[in-house]
Amino acid sequence: MQVKSALRNVFRNRRRTAFSLAVIVIGFLVLVSVLGFVQEALQSTKESLASESGAVQVASEGLFENTSSDYDYLISPETLDRVILEASTLDGVIGVSWQLNFAGLVGNEEGSTLIIGQGVVPCSDVQDYECIVIAGDPLEEMSDRQVVLGSALARKLGVVPGDRINIATGTVSGNFNAATVDVSGEMTYAFEDLESQLGLFPISFVQRLLKTDGVERILIGLEDLDDSDAFAAALQARLDAAGIPLVTRTWEELNASYESIRSFYAAFSGLAMIGIAVLVFFSVLEVLTISFLERSREIGTLRAFGTQRGRIFRSFLLEGAFLGVIGAVLGAILSAILLLSFNAIGFTWTPPGAAIPQAIQLRLGTQVILMPIVTVLVSTLLSSTFPSWRNSRIQIVDALRSI
């Protein structure tokens, strides 16, 4: 009967309950929106970083630690094949790619500037550059003398897709080498500094330019980025067992900035959660205090019949808990509808420095719903604790006298 009575009491003053539920539900919706945005932003950042670096990379320790001299970190074609073989025996691999980078000069009749050249496998499942090409075409699968220039670099050189430019750099043996390539496209990049220096080339061209058949790193794409740590450890064990002197690094280890991004979003979410918890706490506290005080005579009656203070305290606390549960359930249902509708509309925005509008999505997941549920339940329970305790301590005679 205690449960039944508490539930009925929740709906006793419907207007007041509606106000409390409205505060809880609005708080819930705000929190779900914030967490949904944060989760989506973090996931997009993860995917974006992993689309450049792969989920796991394999290379010489000297390359990762920046302690190599000259080109002694290069991986031979035989070792590359052995690593691919080892990786392909593990679960979750969606593709393997490899890279060879260089620094050199790029120029035409108008002038020259520095270029950071990335030799990549065109049309790879691991590195998807197609989506950042904003003019012209991406590298073709069988392409050779092609480059996709950073948009800022193309502007600096005054070239457009279809033009030709010259590339010059040192070979692995220290000699000078140069070549002419076609500009196939222009790409945008999150960091404008890099966009004014970056050029993507087919790796076969870069190998000829540097006069080597080696690669500097092997990139492995995984079905689930969250498996990266486990996969990297498993592959490392295989490499060690096979006597291959290379090491593995996950996308997270390779992108130290991700940790600070995640910390920022965690602080942002935490502040939002505290804000909503405080809002719910004080709103519900006020409503429950009035609501409980109005029932002083009932408390006096129940106490007069021999009800212990603990039972009175528990029954009022139960009302607070029911209010929180009902608010959380309503909040969860409404926020799911809100998020799905928002995502269906398909809002977009263009981030600073970017050329392509991006979709704003709010992620709907277990964590996004669970955290607001915990927040509203805890704050509602806390806010009902004090009035419940105070009401359970009221003197019977005073309680019976109240109107």
Partner 1 sequence: MGTISQFCHEQGRSFLEAQRLTKTYQVGGSTVYALRDVDFTAAQGDFVVINGPSGSGKTTFLNLISAIDRPTEGEVVVEGVSTNTLNEKQLAQLRKEKIGLIFQTFNLIPVLSAAENAEYPLLLQKLSKSERAKRVDAILGEVGLRDLARRRPNELSGGQRQRIAIARALITQPKLVLADEPTANLDSETGAQVMNLMRTLNEEHCVVFIVVTHDPAVTQYARRQIRIHDGCLQEGGAHDVVDTASQPAA
> Please, what sign has the CA dihedral across residues 344, 350, 351, 354?
positive
User: Binding of partner 1 at residue 196 (CB under 8 A)?
Assistant: no
Alpha helical stretches, state H, 54-131:
61-65, 77-88
List 179, 190, 230, 396, residue binding partner 1 (CB under 8 A): 396
User: Binding of partner 1 at residue 321 (CB under 8 A)?
Assistant: no
User: Binding of partner 1 at residue 297 (CB under 8 A)?
Assistant: yes
List 1, 241, 256, 345, residue binding partner 1 (CB under 8 A): 1
Stretch that binds partner 1, among 5-13, 32-40, 89-97, 150-158 (CB under 8 A): 5-13
SS3 11: coil
User: Binding of partner 1 at residue 3 (CB under 8 A)?
Assistant: no
User: Binding of partner 1 at residue 298 (CB under 8 A)?
Assistant: yes
- For residues 12 to 41, the per-residue mask of contacts with partner 1, x marking binding by CB under 8 A and - elsewhere, is x-----------------------------
Minimum distance from residue 397 beta carbon to partner 1 (Å): 5
- Residue 215 DSSP class: B
Complex with partner 1: residue 262 or 311, whichever CB lies closer = 311
User: Binding of partner 1 at residue 306 (CB under 8 A)?
Assistant: yes
SS (H, E, C) 105-123: EEEECCEEEEEEEEEECCC
Binding residues with partner 1: total (CB under 8 A): 23
**Residue holding tokens 């019949």?**
305
Complex with partner 1: residue 15 or 256, whichever CB lies closer = 15
User: Binding of partner 1 at residue 256 (CB under 8 A)?
Assistant: no
Stretch that binds partner 1, among 33-41, 146-154, 270-278, 306-314 (CB under 8 A): 306-314
Minimum distance from residue 22 beta carbon to partner 1 (Å): 22
User: Binding of partner 1 at residue 314 (CB under 8 A)?
Assistant: no
- Residue 191 DSSP class: S
Could you tell me the two tokens for 94? 């969606």
Residue 354 dihedral angles phi and psi, to the nearest 5°: -100, 155
Q: Are 255 and 53 a contacting pair, CB within 8 Å?
A: yes
SS3 303: helix
Angle at CA of residue 327, ends 270 and 29, nearest 5°: 45
Torsion of CA 80, 54, 198, 214, to 10 degrees: 0
Residues that bind partner 1 (CB under 8 A): 1-2, 4-5, 8-9, 12, 297-298, 300-309, 311, 396-397, 400
